[in-house]
A and B are shown apart, each in its own frame.
Chain A
């Protein structure tokens, strides 16, 4: 009872009006955030079944209590150098919306960091880097405790290119 209350109070405290909560994770030293309401669960890295003829950033599929869930390595997705998975490596299972359906997908990241609440006003649009850096998948930038958090547009990130649900070969 007390815990429930304290969580409740906590929640009220944290998610003030006009603020959203974001789960952040580390990828090559940088902190990235995703909308916490999209996070289904966080699990340790486990072996997956690779799917042939898919780009290497799609690590494969995993059995999540009877559902087949594709796992994407975010480092490889962003073409960063590959790092062997370690004890902090986790899979964040996300609910992704594409077209008009919801899909469940996992992303492999270096480590989970924290949960922040970020006001809509504090979320700045990413600066235009031109051709140098693609900010296509960045929803915005926020500063929390003097650190920069890159908030990702996971719907776009996980449903574009090879991850598109539509079968292009069917045409």
Chain B
């Protein structure tokens, strides 16, 4: 077979990991004692396909291990073994082992031999403590494994086309014992009539060894229905004198596909809902229609070059339609990358279960909005920060059961995970009803670390924000789970790197809520084009609160420097973009000037611009690819006329302004000086 089996590895791994996830969540959903047969069936099926797949690809360690898991599941499925807490525990551990094994064979890490051996030992012990079922569960009365088996294997002509390779089967058989293979070539047609995709051969195999009939049949599982198979015990009398023994190992060497592992991670594939694909196909169809319509208009213009109103309208209609098609197509294509957040949430029931046992706490996990969709890239990167936040909530947030009862709370703590869309963002909230943050303790800690100068009292929000400082932990003792103070700063940094932010709300004794805000996608944003000097900039529409004309009497300057604008009941700082960017002529007066009020990281500021241009969707291009990050800019985009426009990093600019550095570089340019002279 010349088919390179390695090309299916990626798919196998993806399916297997999905299968493991499914097994895990189903196992967590199983009730001890009253197990739902359908659920067990589901788990069994997942295990079975992992076994089949790994055997096909030659990952025998995985296949062997899964086989034992499957046996246990089979007994549970048939009801011959009750579903016990112990059993579930072992099965969950088996899932871990399998996951580690699969990761190892994929090429990320070493085989978890020690762990596998331990869990396998426990599995076998459990299987040995027979509660009705035999170890092999094929049902039919098993002939005692005597000397071995004679197998007559006569594939149907089309078997090769189903992707099954007899060599692989034989190789597997050879692992069960000593194998002699005799091929029956009597059906072979003449060379001219030979169709290489048709199987004309039949085999008689003699297998010597301890294998049971079930073991042998299982090897042929995949070709069941594609062949005639007869298995009978090998007589004591030697048969087949004139057999031509062919050692199965010497079979044509299509090398076992152990190398050429596709590197795991970022560049993976994605499973797409058929409906989404159909939608795109429909849109492409419409696009083709629009194109032909425009083509006709163009042709008719060639015939008589002067433009009349009717044709002009047709052209305009066509272009409008084209615009709509393009936009819809773009949206649908973006949709492909969107996955429900349950992919990231799924791991939490397990984490919460394991961790609450470890911590000796009773915790219930509630999840809402698991169907909220999120860009795949964002999803992959948000997983770890979320895990950290949840672990944190379990460890620091929720109190021990006794402490809870003491303060009059129910013994079982509740951790809630919720995801929803708001504006162009996805919001993920992690709530616990635990003890909340201790403001005074935080403040004391911040003081002792020199973050707060003596005699200064920061606002509550600022105090809670110290949680995100590197090396800041409020846990009294360092535990396995958390408390080393490493992490929250990393969480914030990771989330910021995705263009989001994380906020904390807490009430002492009532609980803590972390709110993570993330952009839906990383590659497109709705932008407001503005003009500053002779350059166009893009302000992300999501961060814009409003745009207004400045009235001089609303402006006041603190210490003659920092200008503040009174916006209704608020004072917001004015950021003169022309100064920040050292670009364009300074304003002699603010009166009548345009100001875009924008919000970033919960802070507002007014950005003075020279003109408001249109709004449009822009594709974000990184400045870092060929250059580097530039402060105050989050990227660049290409406008319709081919020129580059820079995208403002609103949060970054406000941050810079708040830290008393409104025009750090502007002073290096001559324009700022001019302005100072004018002012």
Are B626 and A53 neighbours in the complex by a CB distance under 8 Å?
no
Could you say which of A51, A163, A166, A170 contacts B646, with CB atoms under 8 Å apart? A51
- How far does the alpha carbon of A104 sit from the alpha carbon of B625 in the complex, in Å? 8
Closest B residue to A70 by beta carbon equals B627
- How far does the alpha carbon of A13 sit from the alpha carbon of B295 in the complex, in Å? 50
Number of chain A interface residues as a range: 20 to 34
Could you say which of B581, B622, B631, B638 contacts A169, with CB atoms under 8 Å apart? B631
Are A68 and B636 neighbours in the complex by a CB distance under 8 Å?
yes
Could you say which of A47, A68, A103 contacts B621, with CB atoms under 8 Å apart? A68
Complex contacts, A84 vs chain B, CB 8 Å: none
Q: In the assembled complex, how far is the CB of residue A78 from the closest CB belonging to chain B, in whole angstroms?
A: 20
Are A68 and B626 neighbours in the complex by a CB distance under 8 Å?
yes
Q: Which among B535, B580, B625, B629 has the greatest number of chain A C-beta atoms within 10 A?
A: B625
How many A-B pairs have beta carbons closer than 8 Å: the answer is: 79
Complex contacts, A104 vs chain B, CB 8 Å: 626
Q: Given the known A-B contacts A52-B632, A53-B632, A53-B664, are A67 and B644 also in contact in the complex, defined by CB atoms under 8 Å? A: no
Secondary structure at the A interface, as helix, strand, loop or mixed, is mixed
Closest A residue to B645 by beta carbon equals A49
- How far does the alpha carbon of A62 sit from the alpha carbon of B535 in the complex, in Å? 13
Question: Hey, what's the 0/1 contact readout for B81-120 against A, CB within 8 Å counting as 1?
Answer: 0000000000000000000000000000000000000000
Are B625 and A53 neighbours in the complex by a CB distance under 8 Å?
no
- How far does the alpha carbon of A166 sit from the alpha carbon of B631 in the complex, in Å? 13
Complex contacts, B190 vs chain A, CB 8 Å: none
- How far does the alpha carbon of A99 sit from the alpha carbon of B239 in the complex, in Å? 70
- How far does the alpha carbon of A53 sit from the alpha carbon of B663 in the complex, in Å? 10
Complex contacts, B625 vs chain A, CB 8 Å: 67-68, 103
Are B628 and A52 neighbours in the complex by a CB distance under 8 Å?
no
Question: Hey, what's the 0/1 contact readout for A46-60 against B, CB within 8 Å counting as 1?
Answer: 011111111000001
Could you say which of A52, A68, A103 contacts B665, with CB atoms under 8 Å apart? A52
Q: Given the known A-B contacts A63-B638, A66-B638, A68-B625, are A53 and B630 also in contact in the complex, defined by CB atoms under 8 Å? A: yes
Are B646 and A49 neighbours in the complex by a CB distance under 8 Å?
yes
Complex contacts, B665 vs chain A, CB 8 Å: 52-53
- How far does the alpha carbon of A163 sit from the alpha carbon of B583 in the complex, in Å? 21
Q: In the assembled complex, how far is the CB of residue A79 from the closest CB belonging to chain B, in whole angstroms?
A: 16
Could you say which of B628, B636, B642, B646 contacts A165, with CB atoms under 8 Å apart? B628
- How far does the alpha carbon of A36 sit from the alpha carbon of B533 in the complex, in Å? 39
Q: In the assembled complex, how far is the CB of residue B240 from the closest CB belonging to chain A, in whole angstroms?
A: 62
- How far does the alpha carbon of A51 sit from the alpha carbon of B633 in the complex, in Å? 9
Number of chain B interface residues as a range: 20 to 34
Q: In the assembled complex, how far is the CB of residue B195 from the closest CB belonging to chain A, in whole angstroms?
A: 43
Q: In the assembled complex, how far is the CB of residue B649 from the closest CB belonging to chain A, in whole angstroms?
A: 12
Are A61 and B580 neighbours in the complex by a CB distance under 8 Å?
no
Are B581 and A68 neighbours in the complex by a CB distance under 8 Å?
no
Are B535 and A49 neighbours in the complex by a CB distance under 8 Å?
yes
Instruction: Determine whether A105 belongs to the interface, using a CB cutoff of 8 Å to chain B.
Output: yes
Complex contacts, A60 vs chain B, CB 8 Å: 644
Q: In the assembled complex, how far is the CB of residue B675 from the closest CB belonging to chain A, in whole angstroms?
A: 15
Q: Which of B641-660 contact A (CB under 8 A)?
A: 642-646
- How far does the alpha carbon of A54 sit from the alpha carbon of B636 in the complex, in Å? 15
Are A47 and B626 neighbours in the complex by a CB distance under 8 Å?
no
Known: A53-B632, A103-B627, A165-B627. 12 other contacts (CB 8 A): A49-B535, A49-B644, A49-B645, A50-B535, A50-B583, A51-B623, A52-B665, A53-B581, A53-B666, A60-B644, A68-B627, A165-B628
Counting from the closest, the 9 A-B pairs by CB-CB distance are A52-B581, A53-B665, A49-B644, A70-B627, A167-B629, A103-B626, A68-B621, A63-B638, A68-B636
